[in-house]
Amino acid sequence: MKKNFLSFFLVIGLFLSYAGSVFACDFCLLSQGISPLETLNGAGVRVNERYTSLDKVYNGTHKISNPGAKEEFWTTELTGFYAVTEDLMVLGVVPLKKTRMKGELMVNPDGTVDLDPMKGRESGLGDVALIGRYSFFKKHTLDTTTTIAGLLGVKFATGKTDGKADNGEYLDSHIQLGTGSTDYIIGVSLSHSVQKISLSANLLGTLTTEGEFGNKKHRFGNAVNYDVTAKYRVYPADLGSRGPQFFIALGVNGELREREKTDGVKDPNSGGNTTYLSPGIQAVVAPHWVFELSYQQAIYHNLYGIQLGENHKATGGVTYLF
């Protein structure tokens, strides 16, 4: 087991040592400050609403002047989960998306940026995902509980990818409702609780395949989402009384993505890393309801080339446990 632990932390170290990565990923299951995957047993449904905004332009780690481009994403994510056994949980995620863009960045060969004043919006079903989560390590003491779980999943190409802008051109791949590809998800999730405090760490990798958007072949870069979150029960002081429980959370999370390819050509202005600081609150009204709010403020960008970067995301979620 010691060997497994060592490998686990080595792999985490490897990921975190990357320099580099992102894009407007709006398909982030884990990096929401408070992980929706922390529920370990039973069955339930979760609805969460996420708003993402991109209106700042980055050249690597530096912010540069934005000629007026803006992208916005509203995602309603419906998640159903069911514990098949004590250790195995299956999850289905159905995103309903609304995307909007105003002005597309045109990066010139000399590094200057112009604006194509095109506008566009799309709404409808995004890419549906199915995920299995297996807890392969659990250790409990009177005061602590530690779990390590592995995740495997598939994201299907159910979202439309032929949306057009007001000028009749196909919208950029990121504004489309889906990625047009079947992608594979693999991850690891660690949680450790000591009485009122819990610490969770998640790594979620997405291995992409080639898909299509509009009339082009397109492949998003492989990606890793990471998050480390600490949660503290502020009320009640002890669990010997009736009533809801309230938690506050603070996390660091982000996404690292490789460059994407269109018709086999790598886009130099894609991929990179965005890191967020995420405060959040959670209320548990036992035995059925969990309410969550979290906010992600981007604190570090290191984007490849010149591109719009994510600034903030706000997420609200309600979970019903059967």
Partner 1 sequence: MKIAASIIAIALTLFSGSLSWGLEKRLLDAAGVQELNEEAPEFALVTEAGKRISLKDMRGKVVLLHIWATWCTPCKEEFPLFEKVYRSFKDKALVLLPVAIDKRATHEELASQAKKLGANFPVYLASEGSITERYWTWGVPVTYFIDKGGWIRGRAIGPRDWSSDGVYALIKTMIEENKTLPHRGGG
Near partner 1 by CB under 8 A: residue from 24, 256, 290, 306: 256
Rule CB under 8 A: is residue 224 a binding residue for partner 1?
yes
Rule CB under 8 A: is residue 14 a binding residue for partner 1?
yes
Rule CB under 8 A: is residue 223 a binding residue for partner 1?
yes
Rule CB under 8 A: is residue 145 a binding residue for partner 1?
yes
Q: State the nearest-atom distance from the C-beta of 163 to partner 1, in Å.
A: 27
- State both tokens at 26: 């709006």
Q: Across the strands, what pairs with 239?
A: none
Q: How far apart are CA 193 and CA 200, in angstroms?
A: 8
Q: State the nearest-atom distance from the C-beta of 140 to partner 1, in Å.
A: 5
Size of the site for partner 1 (CB under 8 A): 41
Rule CB under 8 A: is residue 320 a binding residue for partner 1?
no
Determine the residue type at 40.
Answer: L
Rule CB under 8 A: is residue 7 a binding residue for partner 1?
yes
- Residue span binding partner 1 (CB under 8 A) among the ranges 45-53, 158-166, 187-195, 261-269: 187-195
Rule CB under 8 A: is residue 11 a binding residue for partner 1?
yes
With beta carbons less than 8 A apart as the criterion, state whether 69 and 107 touch. Answer: no
Q: How far apart are CA 284 and CA 247, in angstroms?
A: 8
Closest to 70 (Cα-Cα) out of 308, 255, 270 = 308
Rule CB under 8 A: is residue 109 a binding residue for partner 1?
no
Rule CB under 8 A: is residue 272 a binding residue for partner 1?
no
Rule CB under 8 A: is residue 150 a binding residue for partner 1?
yes
- State both tokens at 3: 């060997």
- Residue span binding partner 1 (CB under 8 A) among the ranges 10-18, 52-60, 107-115, 118-126: 10-18
Cβ closer to partner 1: 99 or 319?
319
Q: State the nearest-atom distance from the C-beta of 75 to partner 1, in Å.
A: 23
Angle at 176 between CA 20 and CA 313, to 5 degrees: 55
Cβ closer to partner 1: 5 or 169?
5
Q: How far apart are CA 217 and CA 199, in angstroms?
A: 41
> Distance between the two ends of the chain, CA-based, in angstroms?
34
Near partner 1 by CB under 8 A: residue from 110, 241, 265, 322: 241
- Residue span binding partner 1 (CB under 8 A) among the ranges 115-123, 165-173, 221-229, 298-306: 221-229
Q: How far apart are CA 317 and CA 229, in angstroms?
A: 17
Spatial strand order of the sheet with 306-309 comes to: 62-64, 56-59, 306-309
Rule CB under 8 A: is residue 137 a binding residue for partner 1?
yes
Near partner 1 by CB under 8 A: residue from 167, 195, 209, 297: 195
- Going along the chain, which residue ranges are E strands? 43-54, 56-59, 62-64, 70-83, 88-107, 113-125, 129-140, 144-155, 183-194, 197-207, 211-213, 216-219, 223-235, 245-257, 261-262, 265-266, 272-285, 289-303, 306-309, 312-321
Q: State the nearest-atom distance from the C-beta of 7 to partner 1, in Å.
A: 4
Rule CB under 8 A: is residue 19 a binding residue for partner 1?
no
Near partner 1 by CB under 8 A: residue from 96, 115, 186, 314: 186
Q: State the nearest-atom distance from the C-beta of 196 to partner 1, in Å.
A: 9
Alpha helices, DSSP H only, in the chain? 2-16
Near partner 1 by CB under 8 A: residue from 108, 142, 168, 265: 142
